[in-house]
A and B are shown apart, each in its own frame.
Chain A
Amino acid sequence: MAQYVLRRVLIAIPTLFIISVVIFAILALAPGDPLAQFALNPAIPESTRELIRIQFGLDQPWYVRYVKWLTALVRGDWGFSFSTRGPVIDLIWQRLPQTLIVVGTAYVIAVLMAIPIGVISAVKQYSVFDQVATFIAFIGFSVPSFFTGLALMLVFAINLKWFPIVYNSTLNLAGWDGIVEQVRQMTLPVTVLVVQQTAALTRFMRSSMLDNLPLDYVRTARAKGLADRMVIIRHVLRNSMIPVVTLIALGIPTIFAGAIITENLFRVNGIGQLLITSIQNSDTPVVMAITFIFACLTVVFNLIADVLYGVLDPRVRYG
């Protein structure tokens, strides 16, 4: 087992390394002089610009700059934001909790909904329930999340006034009222993410169950007189969960990407919104940092998915 995990980790490290090269290369290849703004300023002569260039190490070849950038990144020095002048890492630490609470809640709800729906859909294949669930799942992954968001906003926030339109992150969470208010403002952004994620997970759960249902061990379990419920929950579900668990791990980076849209729509001040505002302000250090965080998330959850697969299914470990 330890050997299997070690092998996976050793594959993940070069991947992360190459991704860092890719992101750095995109930035280095991107045209445009970082000092272009100074060139327009008559108060900064050519010689001063040259000094700034040397001071920031921009005169050095790309590989020297890459190594410097990477070592700084590993040590937690992520540079300074152009617009707030504060360290990028502080900015991200400020924004991360909002994203994590919305994304985390949404994913837990999505998983808790998708598993039973998928199981019932598969056990009662082609029933009315299955057909309705299939149809809704198709709608779920065809609808752009900003459209779900706007529709929900129009109905529940503007017309019915059940929920606030804009997310307020300065809410005082002390006391019962604060918690109720927090739940109310989270409802719409979370629902948008739940719709998207549940659709895909339901389909995975259903097809995984359908793969297992006709197998011999299921017939054996039935033949020895086990109750139907028992066969489905204790035998089929457990085996069908193996691929689904890894897909749940793999889905986490995509839900973070989905959060970019919901956060912008509902003005949740998480890292997704930070990414878009930074792009609009040409705040390159922040954009780079967030893209790299997303890349790390993907690689780490790929790794977790691989390890989980190995833990749950010994055939993978020794294969």
Chain B
Amino acid sequence: MSEADQTMTSSSMTDAAASIRQLQLGVSAKPRTLLGDAWRRFRRHKLAMVGAGVLIFMTLAVTAGAWWYERYLVDQLAQSGIPVTAENPDIRVLIDHLDFLALLSPPTHVHPFGTDDLGRDLLARCIYGGRVSLAVGFVAMLIAISLGTVIGAAAGFFGGVVDQALMRLTDLFLSLPSVPLILLTVYLFRDPVIQAMGSPEAGIFVIVVTVIGALAWMQTARVVRATFLSLKEKEFVEAARCLGISRTAIMFRHILPNAISPIIVAATLEIGSAIIAESTLSFLGVGFPPDTPTWGRLVTDGSQYLQAAPWLALIPGALIFLTVLSINFMGDGLRDALDPRSRL
């Protein structure tokens, strides 16, 4: 409330005309939009703002940050360490570069996160792993949310037999043991998918996101179904029907936007749980191939040197923790921001 007052006073200071109009009409000069309201509420949730900041930083670090760090590391290695021989080395080359002068080195200015037992730079590996982890989280979320939205929308909109069948399916999926089943599927289908996709990394990526996504859509489906059930009898749907709008358009253009808030919240939280699921798989040694340094894999590899070089396991572990914590705080903030009942 205080921030809203502040913006009001500052705008009236800068814009005299607006302030006069405001006094006359008793409303603020700028019209308030739904999105603006949501943003205002989100901003008040301090932890959510911090979470959003951390996430933006992480995303920048694994993209633009990687570009800058490649140059920095090559430079540092040329001065003190084993120089990189390849021309125009990118992050893919740097994660496998062995610096024999710094085996298991603690964080230094050459290697800000230290090195592992072969002298590979941990920060480069964390950047690469971050790309994989964030991509897995995002794509698995897209799969889970699309499946959940379509299934929930169909169940809620058509009702009857369709609803019964789809809800039984949802209940069935909810009673599948997800961790063992993910382990089982990845274990059985790893080799053929790798062959089909050409490279081990792409193959495992496809199978991991598909399995994680396919076992995580149930909550979204339930939320979307509930919204559809309560909205499909409303007047605006009847009006749309009278105008001769097709059923698909009514479902996705007219009713679905009303369910967007819970979907966004579910989507945010799903990224977090997909990242945890992937890192758990990697930690158990069933995920990405050993030469792909995902965060979970880095923790497993590092845990063998817990005594001699604790940073090897703790840094990537802390990165997973920090990312997921930020995502969860953001989800909490979004829930507060998008809930129409809390509208000012």
Do A and B interact? Answer: yes
- Assess the B179–A260 pair: CB atoms within 8 A: yes
> Closest residue of chain B to A300, judged by CB?
B175
B192 on interface, CB distance cutoff 8 Å:
yes
- Assess the A302–B175 pair: CB atoms within 8 A: yes
Count: A-B pairs, CB below 8 Å: 121
Contact with A along B178-213 (1 / 0, CB 8 A): 111101110111011000000000000000000000
Tell which of B12-20, B59-67, B150-158, B277-285 binds the partner. Answer: B277-285
What B residues does A290 contact at CB under 8 A?
180
A129 on interface, CB distance cutoff 8 Å:
no
A18 on interface, CB distance cutoff 8 Å:
yes
Instruction: Give min CB distance, A302 to chain B, whole Å.
Output: 5
- Assess the A295–B171 pair: CB atoms within 8 A: no
CB within 8 Å of B: which A1-47 residues: 15, 18-19, 22-23, 26-27, 30-32
> Closest residue of chain B to A256, judged by CB?
B177
What A residues does B284 contact at CB under 8 A?
260-261, 264, 276
> Closest residue of chain B to A147, judged by CB?
B317
Given contacts A150-B313, A295-B175, contact A275 B321 (CB under 8 A): no
Which residue of the partner chain, among A18, A30, A288, A297, contacts B189 with CB atoms under 8 Å?
A30
B320 on interface, CB distance cutoff 8 Å:
yes
The interface residues of chain B, by DSSP majority, are classed as: helix
> Closest residue of chain B to A32, judged by CB?
B191
- Assess the A154–B321 pair: CB atoms within 8 A: no
B89 on interface, CB distance cutoff 8 Å:
no
Q: How large is the interface on A (under 10, 10 to 19, 20 to 34, 35 or more residues)?
A: 35 or more
> Closest residue of chain B to A259, judged by CB?
B179
What A residues does B296 contact at CB under 8 A?
144, 146
- Assess the A15–B188 pair: CB atoms within 8 A: no
Which residue of the partner chain, among A143, A287, A288, A302, contacts B321 with CB atoms under 8 Å?
A143
Q: How large is the interface on B (under 10, 10 to 19, 20 to 34, 35 or more residues)?
A: 35 or more
- Assess the A151–B317 pair: CB atoms within 8 A: yes
> Closest residue of chain B to A301, judged by CB?
B175
Which residue of the partner chain, among B176, B178, B283, B306, contacts A261 with CB atoms under 8 Å?
B283
What B residues does A299 contact at CB under 8 A?
175
Instruction: Give min CB distance, A211 to chain B, whole Å.
Output: 14
Distance between Cα atoms of A275 and B280 in the complex (Å)? 14
A257 on interface, CB distance cutoff 8 Å:
yes
- Assess the A279–B183 pair: CB atoms within 8 A: yes
Tell which of A52-60, A73-81, A134-142, A219-227 binds the partner. Answer: A134-142
Tell which of B32-40, B116-124, B241-249, B323-331 binds the partner. Answer: B323-331
Which residue of the partner chain, among A139, A147, A257, contacts B177 with CB atoms under 8 Å?
A257
CB within 8 Å of B: which A220-261 residues: 253, 257, 260-261
What B residues does A154 contact at CB under 8 A?
306, 310, 314
Task: Give me the interface of B with A, judged by CB distance under 8 Å.
Answer: 171-172, 174-181, 183-185, 187-189, 191-192, 272, 276, 279-280, 283-286, 296, 299, 303, 306-307, 310, 313-314, 317-318, 320-321, 324-325, 327-329, 332
Task: Give me the interface of A with B, judged by CB distance under 8 Å.
Answer: 15, 18-19, 22-23, 26-27, 30-32, 138-139, 141-147, 150-151, 153-154, 158, 253, 257, 260-261, 264-265, 275-276, 279-280, 282, 287-288, 290-291, 294-295, 297-299, 302
Identify 17 residue pairs between A and B in the complex whose beta-carbon atoms are under 8 Å apart, listed by A's number: A15-B175, A19-B172, A32-B188, A32-B191, A138-B325, A144-B276, A144-B320, A146-B280, A154-B310, A158-B306, A158-B307, A261-B283, A288-B184, A295-B176, A295-B177, A298-B175, A299-B175
